[in-house]
Chain A
């Protein structure tokens, strides 16, 4: 599905492109609590031997290395590309909407000759951003991860189970003093489930509760 950079830029803006949670609107609660979908962020899964990753400098990542320390992420000089550790030989490259095709092409050519895999998962996942000082508490309702700031700090990314859905949670780097943001990276098909579960957990902090889409007729 290779295509020119120019084309993909225009594609990203097409109104016909729908994100997994396009039917949901951002929700707000008390004290700046906010939840919204971060739509169409470019997402590539890169698989490469851990030993190679340690020494590799990839220009396309603009200064973001492949973190080899578990559950860590790195950010490019420009702040527009992040590389998330998913496993010892697996990373997710997150970039701005519409840039993934070009990035994929550049990465491909830079890595050629090596044993690697690069898969576009931009639409496989979507992201739910949760900002506001109760966000850790909300996430504790959903997962067994230790969300305390002693053990979960900015830049960390952890895969876990949230309710009954597998997802990653990533604490974004935010400006000092700004509200912490946790980004859930969730499979598109389960996004509505998790969105509603988050909103339910946030109801104690003044957020309206969205309920999962249902009512489909299953019985003849």
Chain B
């Protein structure tokens, strides 16, 4: 690793005009053989590589990214971190991730600006309250921090929320996960890349996989725009493009890729102290350290790979936001963008072996993958290294769609963000 990041080095470099900082990761040539190849240089892919190298000693591995690392959903999400999921399997993986998040910055020697400022999930009617309380109860027994707040407590925790009873969707309460929060997505990507690189992982950007070679049902290598590679193990972490990668080895996936939009406001002085999520009116909002309100919008109901969504989704999003935060009306939307989310039928991820030996899939995170990043990478690395899912990953196999043992988080009305 290049020089350690700390305040002393920062001052030293400041005095030298910052000419001494080294590249955070190398730009290596693609080698002809790797012990494993991870397809997809987003945060999940880089985390997988990082843990493969760190925990499993697999350092002759490569991460192949068709564009620039972190340019997909990693660089496009609203960075909400929480683990208050209903089912045991979900709570286990997201809470595993949350624990890793709390020290990830230190582990990587990279400040990922992890801010445990709390995540509020609002309830607007009895049905929602019932569902959320069920979650709080399950969370408590699963050791996930989560509590129920009444409307007044919601207002105390986040003063700009309107709890006016005359609203179309009045706030009757909500849940709070105090350990939830937000972080800086780019920093996570760069920190993981820097740490993985330091362990010897080759991060190859502008390198698109064009086909995968198999022999007798086993992975033997792959072709890329930068040449061919021999490898016995491939982990696909390609988010919205998962189907396309899996198609290369004829592994059908229960996944559809949809555009999801997000937007930010102009920067403002501190306005809301936490993350606020509302399922009923479809609002997900927090304020970045730069002062921008970061707002998650809706998913378009059709398959698209364009990273562009519909304008009316943004309009509806704004109307919803005004319902919860009437004081936002005079603020301005500064930038909007879209990502391609890989949606699975039960709104839970797929972390699985496939019928092709050596081909592993990590996909289906839908609109909520960011929060799982280190957990996802950690357990997927385990799977790739050992060829067996560990206890946390096991419930998320592809098999469940055949047997019917789904982890139906959307059925439980959990907001997937």
Chain B associates with chain A: yes
A interface, CB within 8 angstroms of B: 214-215, 217-219
User: Quick one: closest B residue to A161, CB to CB?
Assistant: B312
Distance between Cα atoms of A219 and B150 in the complex (Å): 12
B193: chain A residues within 8 A (beta carbon): none
Shortest distance from the beta carbon of A217 to any chain B beta carbon, whole Å: 7
Closest 5 pairs between A and B when the two form their complex, measured CB to CB: A219-B165, A218-B170, A219-B170, A219-B172, A215-B166
Shortest distance from the beta carbon of A144 to any chain B beta carbon, whole Å: 9
Distance between Cα atoms of A214 and B125 in the complex (Å): 17
Q: Which residue of A214, A215, A217, A218 has the most chain B CB atoms within 10 A of its CB atom?
A: A218
Distance between Cα atoms of A219 and B165 in the complex (Å): 7
A218: chain B residues within 8 A (beta carbon): 125, 165, 170
Distance between Cα atoms of A217 and B166 in the complex (Å): 8
Shortest distance from the beta carbon of B90 to any chain A beta carbon, whole Å: 31
**Can you list 10 A-B contacts (CB < 8 A)?**
A214-B166, A215-B166, A217-B165, A218-B125, A218-B165, A218-B170, A219-B151, A219-B165, A219-B170, A219-B172
B135-191 contacts to A (CB < 8 Å): 151, 165-166, 170, 172
A214: chain B residues within 8 A (beta carbon): 166
Shortest distance from the beta carbon of B294 to any chain A beta carbon, whole Å: 26
User: Quick one: closest A residue to B173, CB to CB?
Assistant: A219
User: Quick one: closest B residue to A214, CB to CB?
Assistant: B166
Distance between Cα atoms of A214 and B151 in the complex (Å): 21
Distance between Cα atoms of A215 and B170 in the complex (Å): 12
A215: chain B residues within 8 A (beta carbon): 166
Distance between Cα atoms of A218 and B126 in the complex (Å): 10
Q: Told that A217-B165, A218-B125, A218-B170 touch, could you supply 7 new A-B pairs with CB distance under 8 A?
A: A214-B166, A215-B166, A218-B165, A219-B151, A219-B165, A219-B170, A219-B172
A217: chain B residues within 8 A (beta carbon): 165
B172: chain A residues within 8 A (beta carbon): 219
User: Quick one: closest A residue to B126, CB to CB?
Assistant: A220
Distance between Cα atoms of A100 and B125 in the complex (Å): 40
Distance between Cα atoms of A217 and B170 in the complex (Å): 10
B151: chain A residues within 8 A (beta carbon): 219
Distance between Cα atoms of A219 and B166 in the complex (Å): 9
A219: chain B residues within 8 A (beta carbon): 151, 165, 170, 172
Shortest distance from the beta carbon of B314 to any chain A beta carbon, whole Å: 15
Shortest distance from the beta carbon of B153 to any chain A beta carbon, whole Å: 14
Shortest distance from the beta carbon of B32 to any chain A beta carbon, whole Å: 56
B166: chain A residues within 8 A (beta carbon): 214-215
Distance between Cα atoms of A218 and B125 in the complex (Å): 9
B165: chain A residues within 8 A (beta carbon): 217-219
Distance between Cα atoms of A117 and B329 in the complex (Å): 48
User: Quick one: closest B residue to A219, CB to CB?
Assistant: B165
Distance between Cα atoms of A214 and B172 in the complex (Å): 18
User: Quick one: closest B residue to A216, CB to CB?
Assistant: B166
User: Quick one: closest B residue to A144, CB to CB?
Assistant: B312
Shortest distance from the beta carbon of A191 to any chain B beta carbon, whole Å: 17
B125: chain A residues within 8 A (beta carbon): 218
User: Quick one: closest B residue to A164, CB to CB?
Assistant: B316
Distance between Cα atoms of A214 and B165 in the complex (Å): 11
User: Quick one: closest A residue to B169, CB to CB?
Assistant: A218
Shortest distance from the beta carbon of B324 to any chain A beta carbon, whole Å: 15
Shortest distance from the beta carbon of B323 to any chain A beta carbon, whole Å: 13
Distance between Cα atoms of A218 and B165 in the complex (Å): 7
B170: chain A residues within 8 A (beta carbon): 218-219
Contact with A along B266-280 (1 / 0, CB 8 A): 000000000000000
B27-59 contacts to A (CB < 8 Å): none
Distance between Cα atoms of A217 and B125 in the complex (Å): 12
Shortest distance from the beta carbon of B117 to any chain A beta carbon, whole Å: 27
User: Quick one: closest A residue to B163, CB to CB?
Assistant: A219
User: Quick one: closest A residue to B172, CB to CB?
Assistant: A219
User: Quick one: closest A residue to B171, CB to CB?
Assistant: A219
